[in-house]
Structure 1
């Protein structure tokens, strides 16, 4: 019994797009680093609501043009595709702005605040005939393809249980946006989206969702425990927490074997294949420096889709992005989290 090989293509061999970066925060810097150091893609412009911030970001990375508004960025004729790197609360409006300009768009996870907003963005992309992808980077990593193939090819036997946790001590002393309802803060959209995406990738027909959790004084979710069950009887036990650190590991157990994804399961990480007695059969290791460059895979996926004239990724199709948003809507409903403007 051996682990399958991944089918992920070399990021440096992808067709080249000229990228604009919408937003100049930390995740934008991580993406630009991955593009410049790990691909042949070009980063030609950055846009921020603060021109000086955009200029500072551009100087830091050697980007040719800095724009003082998102409107100017998407109107830049040298930009082919835009990476949206703003808070969750802004994804819907920012993605629609990019699409209206006729540009392809990669939207940072969580895709939007809720499923209704996701439907609007995907409908606009469809009408404009542009490529649109959710930037859930884990889905495009070689490690996730090893996991996907292991389940699809029956290596684990009948899939029974998925366990994944994601806890980081980010509240109350971390990024202020996580505490603010108007910025769609909380653990679920920022952290819980990772274990949910992992489970959804392996459970195509989820029929039961149950969640309990704790809310902050301002009404966003501090933590949650989520149970999922699909039509086959597979169960997922998922947790997310933004006020305490957890092991951030995942286990995918079948009747014949199980996979263990080491700390930070959502990043390029070691995969261990174990038999029912817990004996190690094989392990898989990511390439050196993959964690620093991991965001490159989702970006070059967009580049390949554009070159092929396709609008959605087979690794994360629009229906799957929407399904995950619908799951998170159900979870937030059970937790009692309502964001401003949702009613």
Structure 2
């Protein structure tokens, strides 16, 4: 099946290298806002077709799936463009700028009968089920508290500090923390509280978010664009605790008892980059005639956008 990449930046390069190392899939085309950039990208990754506009890319009927690798400020319009041309879409996170946009995309996809999914890779990785099995089997007992964090020194990147480009820590790195919580703690949420420090440009520079559950459980996630964090996810149980190394791309899982003794170490399966899982599932769904992902259905993307909308409302930030 043929993949087309919309965008020719850093993330597009990671995906291109990943697809080129996969089987039963071909990296067929790339589209950029300039032919020169698209052509350079195509030469670097041995791609057949290079298009100097997104319109040309999505007009190519040989493409089975378009992967959108641009900043999230542009996702809404670019997904609409793909859907209008009947192209199946795998769109990078954050899916859209807000829930209203996500709902409109879901409606358009249903009307046109095309596959649309959010490419938040942690939703597709095998570690997700590995963590949930440890929790379900009660290895660390009843878990009522969980913490996670994701921060990088990225405040020098213009798109992250520019309000017009939907900048801010929440949509770029915070989306991973919130998804991690929902994947492993569920959605029976009673309340969300947050504290934020704004960047001088008016976007959120760093925040701490507390998610409270109706059954008394609690999860806390922190995000920042100013420094590197340990990126750990930790589940605290009555019989011990579990540490996930790097919630953004898990490397291993360690389980400890109440005496801080390591009782289980689980390595995450070897992978190309981690991006391959979302590609494999998308193509499987398309082959089966399905129009949504099983790991990240559109209802879940809309739900996550609503959570982030509510958080930003508390900051008086639309």
TM more than 0.5: yes
2:35 to 24, 32, 51: 51
| 1:109 partnered with 2:89 | no
1:137 alignment counterpart: 121
2:221 alignment counterpart: 238
| 1:206 partnered with 2:189 | yes
Change (3 A) 1:317 1:148: farther
Change (3 A) 1:254 1:309: farther
2:264 alignment counterpart: 282
Cα distance in 2, alignment partners of residues 163 and 19 from structure 1: 37
| 1:326 partnered with 2:306 | yes
Q: Do 1:37 and 1:293's aligned partners in 2 also have CA atoms closer than 8 Å? A: no
Cα distance in 1, alignment partners of residues 133 and 282 from structure 2: 22
- The alpha carbon displacement at 1:233 in A equals 1.7
Q: Do 1:39 and 1:296's aligned partners in 2 also have CA atoms closer than 8 Å? A: no
| 1:301 partnered with 2:281 | yes
- The alpha carbon displacement at 1:336 in A equals 2.6
Secondary structure of 1:20's aligned partner: strand
Cα distance in 2, alignment partners of residues 253 and 313 from structure 1: 31
1:194 alignment counterpart: 176
Cα distance in 2, alignment partners of residues 267 and 245 from structure 1: 15
Cα distance in 1, alignment partners of residues 149 and 23 from structure 2: 31
- The alpha carbon displacement at 1:33 in A equals 1.1
- The alpha carbon displacement at 1:195 in A equals 0.7
Cα distance in 1, alignment partners of residues 308 and 77 from structure 2: 20
CA offsets 1:29-65 (integer angstroms, 9 cap, x no match): 1111111114432110000111100000000000000
| 1:29 partnered with 2:13 | yes
Q: Do 2:128 and 2:183's aligned partners in 1 also have CA atoms closer than 8 Å? A: no
Cα distance in 2, alignment partners of residues 123 and 247 from structure 1: 39
Runs (5+) with no aligned partner, structure 2: none
| Mapping 1:1-343, distance limit 5 Å | 17-171=1-155, 173=156, 175-202=157-184, 203-262=186-245, 264-288=246-270, 290=271, 293-338=273-318
Cα distance in 1, alignment partners of residues 24 and 215 from structure 2: 43
Q: Do 2:169 and 2:206's aligned partners in 1 also have CA atoms closer than 8 Å? A: yes
Change (3 A) 1:205 1:58: same
Q: TM-score, normalised by structure 2?
A: 0.96
- The alpha carbon displacement at 1:110 in A equals 0.6
- The alpha carbon displacement at 1:206 in A equals 1.4
Change (3 A) 1:308 1:256: farther
- The alpha carbon displacement at 1:204 in A equals 2.1
Cα distance in 2, alignment partners of residues 106 and 317 from structure 1: 12
Q: Do 1:186 and 1:221's aligned partners in 2 also have CA atoms closer than 8 Å? A: yes
Runs (5+) with no aligned partner, structure 1: 1-16, 339-343
Secondary structure of 1:123's aligned partner: helix
Q: Number of aligned pairs?
A: 317
Pick 1 or 2: higher relative contact order, CA cutoff 8 A, min separation 6: 1
Q: Do 1:194 and 1:266's aligned partners in 2 also have CA atoms closer than 8 Å? A: yes
